[in-house]
Structure 1
């Protein structure tokens, strides 16, 4: 065996709540997608070092229109049994306290690429469902349980489990409360593994912020009682303010053919120590079983490691390639995501003008229903993104351009629009924690195709424009502090959008290309 040193995270940018699985010779990681579609991104690897975006699973199975910011698709869990992949996920419809409407579903497929079955509704008592296939043939569904009676803001009350009957496609028998959680609280993300004579319950605790952690307990009987790891938490950065990886938790484990075990978990890399613009990312570390039967990090302690070793069959170099380009010469590339609705030919038209994406306008940038935006994850602290656009607005309510978008409360939008006195102009709009500022400068621009660019260097960014085929880039507005594009459940996205508040589908923009160049090492 060889030992390959890698740097965490292995999945850069918005890739939270990783669930790792090995089937045959392939490792898979599924991550949460929240309000972005298609949902549940799947990465695959042959060596645990380099990962490729393989597919996204949820398409027509879900309707996310109107779902709240930070809701929708949470904590997917992949398992494999009976010749089928099983995917469990939560669709969160409301997060307004004291309640939480979180519906859990199960779908199956003979291949990771589908076709996937229609969703089977499981329950709604709490989020983060997982499915365990026991050696006796029984199947068990676990989930966090939400108790609205609790006086704390977070009302996670522990982990419950119930038998699942595949022939009836429903839960049967009693509900078992198998873990109340520790004083870290906010217990969620349950996964059961069988090793030796024990069932091991791996959970996330402490919330998804600074106190996030992995806690483990075990039992010789699957329904409990469960014994708490005496040295919990087995992974956390909650007491390590100088760690380059923060908010570490939500772990799942996998065994290699050589008998080694690894844990995938989420983490953040806060910019300037305070702003996780890239969102929650995925890291990996080797773990081992102690003689007394507990799981520990190789190397000792319980700290997340930004540099770690992976055992490989041959020497492998960890690759970093976050660049992305779409010239719109064929189908939309699978890296794209949309908000709450899929990119279909009703508003993403690749036929009307060959070589261009014709994007039909949607509702306003605040819309939770028909927001027409195509975007990719920001994966680098430093990057440049450029697009070329042909747009001829005739009203101030029409706009199209280049956007940095965290959520409907926090975004930066450089766009082409119409001014009654100046005609076609470029403007800059910022929303920071729901407070919007429309910068007063209106840049009059001549007709024709135009390029828009954003240059991002860590905490600051600058928008530019130029008329196509000209050499000189002109600034759009002042340099922008980007630290507000952080927080919440998702990471920042970079993309293109078209809006029209005068008329539904009232205008369109033609995009010639979109190019993202990552500049991090």
Structure 2
């Protein structure tokens, strides 16, 4: 740690898949909670002391009583958490989305609490299922109010199904919602009104919402009222923040939250994306990231971006706080610990012992081959976020597939219809081979393809090193045998831009980001294991 004073913050502050930020300050500490969707454990919480340098410190939803996402669809699961602090506790509200496609949605909202970010985090209190993006407001009189968007499946046009922001009182002693439900704000012509956060300041209640959908028309709107239940008047400018119609680096800006520093400065954190191109297919492999903007908020007036206008800035003025850096995580993991490094997650299940073990073989991550890459139940995939446009990743695997139904290797993953997979498998006679599976998310029917002209024969036993090099939209796989062999790059280039929100059904229908990691599959049901001896990720 140093004490030099910073002047500018470079966006994004949380690169890679880190959307829907909720920020809270407790003393000198700042915490941001972001959505994790179908990835387990649920909710990422980052910590900072200077609003520029952040470190992942906790994923609090880590047991079955809090979260079980088996069967949840891709881009379902944990949406838009809200993290607040009051009465000596952290309060975390989150949604578990069980159905997200079509006119109907199943969106169950819960509350957990803890005395510190590290926990222990409580079992959940069920709140409601009337919509998503729930937020808890602690009023000055001690009363607590839940707000969330309301989903109306009877409205035909998608934007018209977002029919407003619901408010209901929460009774912390009874641990339930109580009293009438009120629709306090129906939004603006931008539609898709969601992501509400309430604040009280200068005799006003301020309601911050996201609008315009989570694609390239996304925006942040603010409204105010002298009374909690409204009516709320919308900012005459309507949007505090939007990248719509701009050509800046940060696009899809919206879904925000505001924090005040101890010195009385205001900052807004918001989601954004960085497309590879604004003139081609506008794809963002890193997914929706978190950025920060400085606000000017004079007493009794609507807030404005400190740099002017409504477009997000790449660099913003930093607060007058001492710089507080964290040691970077190691590029290489050797799996010597019995605990999975915090950078890695898996999919959906609260029973990780069914998918992997760090103790069955010393110094190895053992994956048990489970269901196919299309499974929404038991999928043995351990991965970390892609946080750079150019990177190299490598792993060493010791696996002996018995036949073609068993495979394991290195995978670039977005979802069940968007992935590139360099896998060790076998033919019907059990001879080991190396092959590539690819699914590029072509809509409406995503097809599995085999980019290699023919599989590559491998020795019957021994460690195989697998690697990939990504440079923006290009992914190249490579492999080597043992420790001393040179790498062989495969004669194919795959489209890494397909591993993005925008590929397939479009940016408004996909909400996560690219991961790179290790996987094992056994569609025979025998659970044949694969051991991974190391994994590394380095920005290029």
**What TM bracket, shorter-length normalisation?**
over 0.9
Task: Evaluate the alpha carbon distance shift between residue 99 and residue 346 of structure 1 in structure 2; reply closer, same or farther with a 3 A threshold.
Answer: closer
| Corresponding residue for residue 488 of structure 2 | 474
Distance in 1, Cα, partners of 2:192 & 2:82: 19
Tell me the distance in 2 between the aligned counterparts of 1:266 and 1:140.
24
CA distance, structure 2, for counterparts of residue 512 and residue 332 of structure 1: 13
Give the counterpart of 2:27 among 24, 28, 33. 24
Q: Give the superposed CA RMSD.
A: 1.6
Three-state SS of the structure 2 residue aligned to 1:223 is coil
Runs of 4+ in 1 over 6 A off after TM superposition: 317-320
Q: Deviations over 1:385-406 (max 9, x none)?
A: 0000000111100000000000
Distance 1:406 1:125 in 2: 28
The equivalences for 1:355-394 within 5 A come to: 355-394=363-402
The residue aligned with 1:49 is 52
Report the alpha carbon displacement of residue 420 of structure 1 after superposing the two structures with TM: 3.0
Match of 2:40 in 1: 37
Instruction: Check if 1:347 corresponds to 2:355.
Output: yes
- 1:95-110 maps to which residues of 2 (within 5 A)? 95-110=100-115
Query: Counterparts of 1:56-455 in structure 2 under 5 Å?
Result: 56-60=59-63, 61-154=66-159, 155-240=161-246, 242-273=247-278, 274-290=282-298, 292-314=300-322, 316=323, 321=328, 324-330=331-337, 331-342=339-350, 344-420=352-428, 423-433=431-441, 434-439=446-451, 440-446=453-459, 447-455=461-469
Q: Return 299-308 or 41-50, whichever deviates more.
A: 299-308
- Which whole-Å CA distance do the structure 1 matches of 2:344 and 2:408 have between them? 17
CA distance in 1, matches of 2:355, 2:326: 35
Count of residue pairs the alignment pairs up: 516
How many angstroms does 1:318 deviate by?
Answer: 7.5
Q: Tell me, in whole angstroms, the C-alpha distance in 2 between the residues paired with 1:409 and 1:177.
A: 38
- More strand by proportion, 1 or 2? 1
Q: Secondary structure at the match of 2:493?
A: strand
Q: 1:498 is matched with which residue: 512, 520, 525? A: 520
Displacement, 1:95? 1.4
How far off is 1:3 after superposition?
Answer: 4.7
Offset at residue 349 of structure 1 (A): 1.9
Q: Deviations over 1:38-96 (max 9, x none)?
A: 11000000111100001111111111000111111000001111111100000000013
Deviations 1:495-521 (A, max 9, x none): 00100011242x1111110000012xx
Q: Secondary structure at the match of 1:483?
A: helix
How far apart, in 2, do the equivalents of 1:16 and 1:398 lie?
A: 35
The normalised TM-score by structure 1 is: 0.96
Quote the offset at 1:233 in angstroms.
Answer: 0.3
Question: How far did residue 323 of structure 1 move?
Answer: 5.8
Please give the per-residue CA displacement for 1:225-266, whole angstroms capped at 9, x wherever unaligned.
Answer: 1111001101000121x1110000111011111110100000
Distance in 2, Cα, partners of 1:343 & 1:387: 24
1:421 is displaced (CA, Å) by 5.9
Report if aligned partners of 1:250, 1:266 keep a CA contact under 8 Å in 2. Answer: yes
2:536 matches 1:515: yes
> 1:106 touches 1:120 (CA, 8 Å); kept in 2?
yes
Query: Structure 2: where are the runs of 5+ without partners?
Result: 502-509
